[in-house]
């Protein structure tokens, strides 16, 4: 874990939610099926909580973004729900909204990853989550995987 001139030990398996049932759903190498999305986002909440538990002890200022990140996951869930269930022209507006949310989501996961100098599997964990969400967003337009 990075800090100015200081090194901290982080519980890697805990950060990667290895003990959470079906946590492999976060990093599978395929798009997320529409029916999997609620579980995926529930586990993602756990990822956010665990990151803040591990890193928050370094500085109370770190928690300044916690509520924003938790609300970001909720907003993404709401956006996916609208996209999955709305057949009106509003879905195009919501897809644009999802794009903006994804920019913040990407920044969040990148910041989580940058907090650590290693091990490589932890850094890869955060990147794989983002890769899976990106794959999903690409196929939503095509209507595949239940979308």
Number of domains in the chain: 1
pTM for the model stands at 0.87
Length of the chain: 147
Residue 13 covered by a domain: no
- pLDDT tens-digit profile of 84-143? 998 898 898 999 999 999 999 999 999 999 988 889 999 999 999 999 999 999 998 787
Measure the CA–CA gap between 117 and 138, rounded to whole angstroms. 30
4-30 per-position pLDDT tens digit? 445 556 689 999 999 999 999 999 999
Find where tokens 């595949």 sit. 144
**pLDDT tens-digit readout, 46-74:** 999 999 998 887 777 888 899 999 999 99
Work out whether the CA dihedral 143, 81, 132, 35 comes out positive or negative. negative
Residue 75 covered by a domain: yes
* Rounded Cα distance, 95 and 147, in Å: 12
Report the C-alpha gap between 5 and 118 in whole angstroms.
Answer: 16
Question: Which among 97, 103, 91 has a CA at the least distance from the CA of 141?
Answer: 91
29 in any annotated domain: yes
Give the domain extent around 43. Answer: 22-140
């Amino acid at each position: 874990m990075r800090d100015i001139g200081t090194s901290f030990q982080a519980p890697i398996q805990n950060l990667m939610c290895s003990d959470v049932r079906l946590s492999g759903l976060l990093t599978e190498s395929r798009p997320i099926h529409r029916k999997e999305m609620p579980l995926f986002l529930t586990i993602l909440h756990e990822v956010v909580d665990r990151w803040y538990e591990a890193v928050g002890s370094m500085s109370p200022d770190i928690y300044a973004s916690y509520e924003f990140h938790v609300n970001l996951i909720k907003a993404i869930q709401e956006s996916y729900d609208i996209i999955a269930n709305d057949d009106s022209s509003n879905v195009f507006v919501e897809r644009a909204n999802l794009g903006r949310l994804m920019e913040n989501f990407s920044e969040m996961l990148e910041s989580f990853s940058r907090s650590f100098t290693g091990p490589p599997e932890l850094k890869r964990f955060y990147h794989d989550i983002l890769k899976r969400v990106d794959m999903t967003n690409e196929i939503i337009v095509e209507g595949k995987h239940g979308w």
